[in-house]
Each structure stands twice: as C-alpha cells, then as structure tokens.
Amino acid sequence: MISAGDFRNGVTVEIDGNVCQIVEFQHVKPGKGAAFVRTKYKNIITGSVLEKSFRPTEKFPTARIERVDMQYLYSDGGLYYFMNVETFDQIGLTEDQVGDSLKFVKENEMVKICSHNGNVFAIEPPLFVELVVTETEPGFAGNTAQGATKPATVETGAQVMVPLFVNQGDKLKIDTRTGEYLSRV
C-alpha cells in the first residue's frame, strides 16, 4: 500500500480497480483547510489521463507491472504468437491486444510484453529497427529548398515518409515510437 502523500512520477497504483501510473503530482497546502495532493494519472490499459485530488493519508495498493522479454514468432489468422526465450513458453494474443504496436516488428525479433496479474495490456517494440524498403517511387533530388519526402513501404507493410534519395531495396533505421525515418544503414 502506498499513501497519496508518497506519490512520485512513474509510480503505478490501483485507483478504483484500474491500473494507473502517476504522471504529475503536486502537494498543495492551502492557507485554510486541510492539505491535499493534486494528481494527474494515466490509466495504463485504456490510455486515458485523469486529474483528481486526494487526501495525503489515502492509501492505494501498488500495482505490479511485469515486463517480460519475448520473441515475436508469427501471426496466424487473428492471433499473434510470442515465446519466452528463457522458459520457451508460448502465448497467443489477439489483434485487439496487439493493436498497431507490431507494425515495425519483423518475425523473430524481441519485444517486451507488459502485463498486470497475468493480463497483457501492452507490447513494447524495440526503440529502433532496421527494415528494407520494399516499395517506393523513384525520387529525383531536384531544386527543393526544404527536405522533401515521399512515402515508402517497408518489409513489415508499414508506411514511412523518407527523403527523395531513398530507393527500393535500401535498409533504413526507423524510430518505432514516432514512425520516423532516421537514416540509411
């Protein structure tokens, strides 16, 4: 149990049965009345951000989030299969659980599976990936004053905006958090 007076950024607690992470907190001691803690917290499962004030003595159970390194094996129909490389246990997740977190992840790459009480709520891909361009229009470096871009499809099927000099077959380094092109490899 953790009291509201002990809140810090990044702490995960259960508030009203939901797993939440503290984004911001502020201890407020008005001139008249009791002190309180103004918090902004994010529901980890739904992603919604809420603001609420608590008395510093209110207690909440701490939520234990497990992050396990797993290898993405393959997708079959509506299921995506992952394997724990230490225990060789395999799990299958639905499209709803996966969302678009695997759009830059190839088969046999490592990802982090985040779960709470055995319920998977997020998949964290590696921060940077290297993918080959499978389709893009030929670009001509012309008289552009600014960095002009064009769409390109990479080997996982995702679309990325790339500079005009990138050609089909080039290997790119991509930031998975923003989906931005970083460099050629």
User: Which residue in 96, 88, 125, 122 sits closest to 110, CA to CA?
Assistant: 125
In tens, the pLDDT along 47-67 reads: 889 999 999 999 999 988 888
Residue 96: the pLDDT is: 81
CA 51-52-53 angle, to 5 degrees, is: 140
Residue 130 pairs in a beta bridge with 173
Question: Using an 8 Å Cβ cutoff, are 38 and 56 in contact?
Answer: no
- Whole-angstrom Cα distance, residue 136 to residue 152? 5
Q: Which residue has the tokens 């992050």?
A: 67
AA letter at 138: P
- Listed in order, strand segments (DSSP E) in the chain are 2-3, 12-15, 18-28, 36-43, 49-54, 59-60, 66-76, 79-84, 90-94, 110-116, 119-124, 128-136, 149-154, 159-163, 171-175, 180-184
More confident residue, 95 or 132: 132
In tens, the pLDDT along 88-123 reads: 999 988 888 888 888 899 989 999 988 888 888 888
Residue 172: the pLDDT is: 92
Residue 142: the pLDDT is: 60
Q: How confident is the model at residue 163 (pLDDT cuts 50, 70, 90)?
A: confident
Residue 116: the pLDDT is: 83
Residue 141: the pLDDT is: 59
Q: Is the dihedral of CA 129, 180, 142, 157 positive or negative?
A: positive
The predicted model scores a pTM of: 0.71
In tens, the pLDDT along 4-38 reads: 889 988 888 998 888 898 999 999 999 888 999 99
Q: How confident is the model at residue 82 (pLDDT cuts 50, 70, 90)?
A: very high
Residue 117: the pLDDT is: 82
Residue 54: the pLDDT is: 92
The DSSP-derived string for 47-80 is --EEEEEE-TT-EEPBP--EEEEEEEEEEETTEE
Question: Mean pLDDT for the chain?
Answer: 87
Flag whether pLDDT at 143 surpasses 60: no
Residues contacting 131, CB < 8 A, separation 6+: 104, 106, 154, 155, 156, 158, 171, 172, 174
More confident residue, 126 or 185: 126
Residue 154: the pLDDT is: 92
